[in-house]
Each structure stands twice: as structure tokens, then as C-alpha cells.
Amino acid sequence: MNQQIYLDNAATTRMADAVRVEMEPYLGENFGNASTSYGVGQVSKEAMEKSRDIIAGTLQANKEEIFFTSGGSESDNWAIKGIAGALKNVGHHIITSSIEHHAVLNSCEYLERLGYEVTYLKPDAYGIVSPEAVQAAIRPDTTLISIMFANNEVGTIEPIAQIGRVAREHHILFHTDAVQAYAQVPLSMATLPVDLLSASSHKFHGPKGVGFLYVRDGVNMPSFIHGGGQEKGKRAGTENIAGIVGMGKAAELAHENMRRRIRWEIQLRNYLIERVLHEIPDSRLNGHRSMRLPGNANFSFKGVEGGALLILLEEDGICASGGSACNTGESRISYVIEELGVPMEYAPGTIRFSMCGDTTKAEVDVAIASLKKNVAKLKL
């Protein structure tokens, strides 16, 4: 096979070398349990709290508002099920969108089976959920609004500040799944009207199996995993110290280089989009042209089957995806693409490229050449 060109960073990222180095002592000599009082345990606790400080700083939040989890799915589940349960005597209505990650959608479906009512807002053709639609969906018994910060498939960034203000005006808690956005674009809890925010380490060059949930001070958040007193009694279980340390280092690195990296990713993204749309007939861009994640480009090609195209790209050493990595292996058209109303002659031929700060222009050129060749081959 040709040299691998990795353009699927929305699925996962390569762990940074500096992150691995930072983690190594906590996979060896610094093995202590952070809940113990003796020296080796306190070394682990101090490292964990340092990471909590770093992550809180990147969000302009308080460290007491950061709770470590196993990743984005757990954080989403905790936020939605936790708030729904805590406020069940207030109301049983939740507002979300129809293009959320399955961690949100399946949590809402679970709550529906328990008697809750959920309104699934449809986005416009660019994937934007309008604040006006959120406003119109609010009922006296609405207790939670959950709208993702940026879509994992098409990359559209939602008007989170405006939606958050709508939620505040009605005294409704607001959660955002920021798994694709945290460490990719600037986020400040000092200015964003967001009450709960989910993130996952492996999306920003940290280790897999660790993430966090931001819970604004004053929000009554019940325990999600019951057992010991870890995470202020909210999330039991011996902490994944090495993972937490790695996530803290990855967050630190991502925010140190954020402005430069965003500029580079946008430059590459726009270069890729312009060349594909101008050089490949019957191609279309999905998602908003500019209100999108810096490194995301999602295309559909008329008369092409996306699965076959991905196989041919892989033969050329190009790693891309058909959408969410969680749906790999499914043959049906992505529900996100369906909700955006992509025409049926284009929808099956949908693929996503997602770049990072390490992606080079030469790699993008190789990917475009492979894409042009293989789209033409599939149309024969």
C-alpha cells in the first residue's frame, strides 16, 4: 500500500509524542491510587488536579466545574439523563436536534421510553439549528436544551451563544456536545451561556478512554456512577490517572498553538474545497461554507457510492470516512445527510475529510488526485 495519508481526524487523532511522554510515569513508577493518603497516591492526585486546572483554564472556568469521565459518550449520557432525572418533578420535556451524535440521540430515546417527551429540531440545508426554532419549541415543562457545538459529520458550527441566551431567558439548562469543538476553536465559559459541556481527549491528540463534563457552578448535577467518593462524589471509580494526565497535556498543547493551527487548517480546508468543487464534476459541499470546523470538509458526489470510493481511496493510502466513525460498516445513508436534505442522487456518495495541524498541503494534493481518479473510475 502507498504511504498512509490520514485525513480522518474527526474520528480520532494521533496521540502527540509529548502527551505520551507526560503519561509514561503514571503507567509505571507513579502508579498510586489518588484516593490514598500516602506519598505515591498523593503524586497521582496532584497530577490529576494539575490537569483539572489546565482544562479549567482553557475554558475560563473554575476547576470545581470540571468532572473527569471516560469520554464524550459518557459525558453526554450523564448530562442528559442526569438533568432529566434531577428535574423530573419540574418537567418531562427536552429539546435537541435531529443531527446530534448518537450519544445524545440514544440518551433521549431512552428517556422517551421512560415517559419523557423530546422535540427533535430539524436543521436548515446547511446544518444550522436556528435559535428561533429553539424558542418556538420551548414549553412550560421544558427542563433541558441540548444542541451540539459543531456537527461531527458536516462540520457546521451552531449558533450556540444565541441558543444559550434563549435558554437563559426561559431559565432552562443548556447542554452542548462540544466533542468536535473543544480544543479546535476557542471556547469560554465566562462568556458562553452554557451550563454543561462535553469533551473527549482523543479528538485533540490525547489518549482514548478519557474526557470531561463541564458543569456550571450552581447546577444540581446528580451522581451518574455510584460507588466511592471520587469526583466530589459525582462519578465513582478509581481515576484513570495516566489518561487524565495525557488529556491535560493535550489540552495545554492544543491551546498553546490554537491560533496558528486554526489558520493553517482553514487554509488547507478552503484549498481542498475549492479544488474539489472546481475540478470534480457533480460534486457538492455539505454543511455551511464558512461556519464550519477549521479542518472539516464533507462532500457528496453524484452517481457515486461512498463505500466503494472509500475503499479505492484506502488503496491509495488515503484515510477518510463516510461520516461518523460510530456508524462505520453501515450501508445506509447518514441520518445527518438525510436531515440536511442532500439530493438522493448525491447522498450515497458522501465522504468526509478532516485535517489537523500536522496535515500538509502535499498530502491534500495527493488526496485530491486520488479522489479525482477514483470518482471518475466509479462513474464509468
Indicate which residues carry an active-site annotation: 326
- How do strand 93-97 and strand 117-121 relate by DSSP bridges? parallel
* Cα 40 from Cα 49, distance rounded (Å): 15
> What is the full DSSP assignment across 219-253?
-----SB-SS-TGGGTB-S---HHHHHHHHHHHHH
Dist. CA 66–CA 210, nearest whole Å: 13
DSSP string covering 158-177: P-HHHHHHHHHHTT-EEEEE
Closest CA to 174 of 191, 197, 153: 197
* Residue pointed to by grid coordinates 479549567: 56
Count CB-CB contacts under 10 A for residue 346: 19
Q: What does the alpha-carbon distance between residue 119 and residue 98 come to, in Å, rounded to a whole number?
A: 9
Nine-digit cell string for 305: 457510492
Phi and psi (nearest 5°) for 17? -60, -40
